[in-house]
Chain A
Amino acid sequence: MELCQMSGLELGKKIKAKEVGVVEATKAVLENIEKREQSYHCYVTVCKEEALAQAEAVQKKIDAGALDSPLAGVPAAVKDNMCTKGMQTSCASRMLETFKPIYTATAVQKLQDAGAVILGKTNMDEFAMGSTSETSFFGATKNPWNQDHVPGGSSGGSAAAVAAEEAFYTLGSDTGGSIRQPASYCGITGLKPTYGTVSRYGLIAYASSLDQIGPMAKTVEDVAEIYKIIAGHDKKDSTSVHQPAPSFTLCPDMKGKKIGIPMEFFGEGIEEDVKEAVYHGAKVYESLGAEVEEIKMPAIGYAIPAYYIAACAEASSNLSRYDGIKYGHCATKYDDLVDLYYQSRSEGFGFEVKKRILIGAFVLSSGYYDAYYNKALQVKALIKQSYDDAFAKYDFLLTPTAPTTAPRVGESLKDTLKMYLSDICTVSVNLAGLPGLVVPCGFDKKGLPIGLQLIGKAFGEETLLNAGLAFQTATDFHKKTPVGKEA
């Protein structure tokens, strides 16, 4: 097997056994990046020299017996909305084009402490606002399975980098599906952990009550291992939950498990190929001894409006910090202080970001607050209740990740309401704060990947990862790669 085709844990094992050197692995993946970036544009920044220096340092620590993580020495990349000290962190926006953070996000620091070699920062929709990775100020990322299609978003660069073997694994962030949907579109595995399990310290805020960092990789085992490294309480994030760092051994036994399939996830616009692949997934679970039942969750039909109201409201508040003064884009022509704010913000933000800030300011404005923002929070309570009811009976839920496979480049931004509607399978999970795991479960007629979404109880990551591993063991969709096949 070629080095870059290995999973993170496979490479980690070889590094531990001294069969592969950390510098050698880093050089191999950097070579892939050099070859393929022209086509896919997964990265905003590639830090070649820094990565090679890190690789040497990590190798020394491994040799000295100072690193025991099974992923020590494995090269990875992180989404460009996570702060990395001294390394450009742009959020794919002109606003932060030259921003170099003075500290590192906790999740990234934890990876580095475990011996990860950070290759660079992956491309995304500007400020994580989008479902296609086309709104990046630095240009769109392409889907490695077919360059005429998007990789999904907003963590599109993180997903495409794993699929194109330009990183062994990556971190993404998920506010309304931004890890799970691109994982599905790119045929990889991705986990959106329970809200509060992974520190948001150093994650550039979009909608703070919904944002969560999570792993994206080739296999469930990799995702589980990365999750164990990055999860845990952090006093620097006041919403971080107090609970011990996860330690579990995966045990993919599905006998007697009860799985619900909510019908509302198969509404208008769902492609036949997607539906078939998900139902085939259900059959796989039945063959492994699980009981599968179709259920109804009517509140899910209202998740999209509730989500976009809440997310835009929080975005308008969070993004008010960009004033052109402390950091970020600063206009050169202005009349006075207030005009400096106007000019810097109007020049620094792209169209989609401005639109969401305006919508957020509207739903929070006096006279409309109750009708929109408060109403959305009430509907959020209904959605959470609906999940609580489902989990009283079922161990986890099984759904599509998106109604379709990856859309063609340019198609989604022509009709953004339609693009928002395509988030129907993912946003309710964030509103309820739950974990969601996506594993590859098939391909459509065009050869584009389809992902199966498993939704678990709050803090039920172990159950989800076991279920994901059971599916992965019974199928081989996760072994398919676009490398060498792309037209």
Chain B
Amino acid sequence: MKITDELLDYVGILARLHISEEEREKTKEEISKIIEYMDRLNELDTRQIEAMSHAFPVKNVFREDVVQPSVDREEIILNAANKKEGCFKVPKAVE
């Protein structure tokens, strides 16, 4: 299927990505081409096939709920661009 401007805008919102005016046509064209190629899967009748997310059975892995040493607070915020008093600093989110 073809990717319209509307659909591209919608997907951009889901992905929190702006698509610049210069990149818009190229993005639309390339994604449309790829999605159209993906449509080939419709040639296969898969009604009886169960979807497989992992090649091998994967189970939830649990551990005992005991306190263990974790990473230092100072280290965790080391790579943050904005920080204050040992916390991540973000623009005001709630009025």
B56 touches A196 (CB 8 A): yes
Of A304, A361, A381, which one neighbours B50 at CB under 8 angstroms? A381
Q: Are A417 and B30 CB-contacts (below 8 A) given A99-B79, A102-B78, A381-B49?
A: yes
Which secondary structure dominates where chain B touches chain A? Answer: loop
Chain B contacts for A100, CB-based, 8 A:
78-79
Report chain A residues within 8 Å CB of B76: 102
Flag if B91 contacts A358 (CB, 8 Å).
Answer: no
A378 engages B49 (CB within 8 Å): yes
Chain A nearest CB: distance from B87 CB in Å? 11
Residues in B neighbouring A378, C-beta threshold 8 A: 44, 46, 49-52
- How many of B's residues come within 8 Å of A, CB to CB? 55
User: Closest CB of chain B to A425's CB: distance in Å?
Assistant: 17
Give Cα A441–Cα B55 distance, bound, in whole angstroms. 30
Name A171-217 residues within 8 Å CB distance of B: 195-196, 209
Chain A proximity of B56: nearest CB distance (Å): 6
Contacts of B92 in A (CB 8 A): 336-337
Q: Say yes or no: A342 contacts B54, CB within 8 Å.
A: no
Q: Is the CB of B52 within 8 A of A380?
A: yes
CB-CB under 8 A from A98, the residues of chain B are 79
Question: Contacts of A41 on B, CB cut-off 8 Å?
Answer: none
Within the complex, which residue of A309, A328, A417 is in contact with B79, where a contact is CB–CB below 8 Å? A328
Pair A417/B34 contact, Cβ less than 8 Å: yes
What 1/0 flags go to A340-352 for Cβ under 8 Å of B? 1111011001010
State in angstroms the CA–CA spacing of A334 and B81 once bound together: 14
Q: Name the interface residues of B61-78: CB closer than 8 Å to any CB of A.
A: 61, 63, 71, 75-76, 78
B21 in contact (CB, < 8 A): no
Which chain B residues border A379 with CB–CB below 8 Å? 41, 44, 46, 49
The verdict on A330 contacting chain B, using a C-beta distance below 8 Å, is yes
Q: How far is the CA of A378 from the CA of B52 in the complex (A)?
A: 6
Residues on the A chain within 8 Å of B53, using CB:
209, 377
* Residue from A239, A309, A334, A360 in contact with B58 in the complex, judged by beta carbons closer than 8 Å: A239
Q: Is the CB of A372 within 8 A of B55?
A: no
A200 to chain B, nearest CB (A): 13
A342–B43 Cα distance when bound, in Å, is 37
Which among B8, B17, B82 is the interface contact of A349 at CB below 8 angstroms? B17
| Identity of the chain A residue whose Cβ is nearest the Cβ of B71 in the assembled complex | A102
* Contact A420 B34, beta carbon cutoff 8 Å: yes
Q: Pick from A99, A305, A324, A351: contact of B37, CB below 8 A.
A: A305
The secondary structure that dominates the A interface is helix
State whether A342 touches B17 (Cβ < 8 A): yes
Given known A238-B61, A305-B41, A378-B50, contact A195–B80 (CB-CB < 8 A)? no
Known contacts A316-B15, A326-B79, A334-B91: A355-B31 contact under CB 8 Å: yes
A431 within 8 Å of B (CB atoms): yes
Query: Which of B33, B51, B78 is close to A374, meaning CB atoms less than 8 Å apart?
Result: B51
What mask results when residues 1 to 14 of chain B are scored 1 for a CB within 8 Å of chain A, else 0?
A: 00100011011101
Q: Does A241 belong to the interface (CB within 8 Å)?
A: yes
A312-339 interface bits toward B, Cβ cutoff 8 Å, 1 = contact, 0 = none:
0000100010001111101000101110
CB interface residues, B 23-42, toward A, < 8 Å: 23, 26-27, 30-31, 33-35, 37-42
Are A358's CB and B17's CB within 8 A?
Answer: yes
On whether the beta carbons of B91 and A340 are closer than 8 Å, the reply is yes
| B49 and A382 form a contact (CB under 8 A) | yes
| Cα–Cα, bound, A363→B41 (Å) | 13
Query: Given A195-B56, A358-B27, A375-B46, 13 other A-B contacts at CB below 8 A?
Result: A209-B54, A235-B63, A304-B37, A306-B41, A324-B81, A325-B80, A334-B91, A337-B93, A343-B18, A345-B17, A346-B18, A358-B8, A384-B52
18 intermolecular pairs with C-beta atoms under 8 Å apart? A100-B79, A102-B71, A302-B44, A308-B34, A336-B92, A336-B93, A337-B90, A338-B16, A342-B16, A357-B15, A361-B15, A362-B35, A378-B51, A378-B52, A379-B46, A384-B55, A416-B34, A433-B55
Which 4 residue pairs are nearest across A and B when measured between Cβ atoms?
Answer: A433-B55, A330-B81, A327-B79, A377-B51
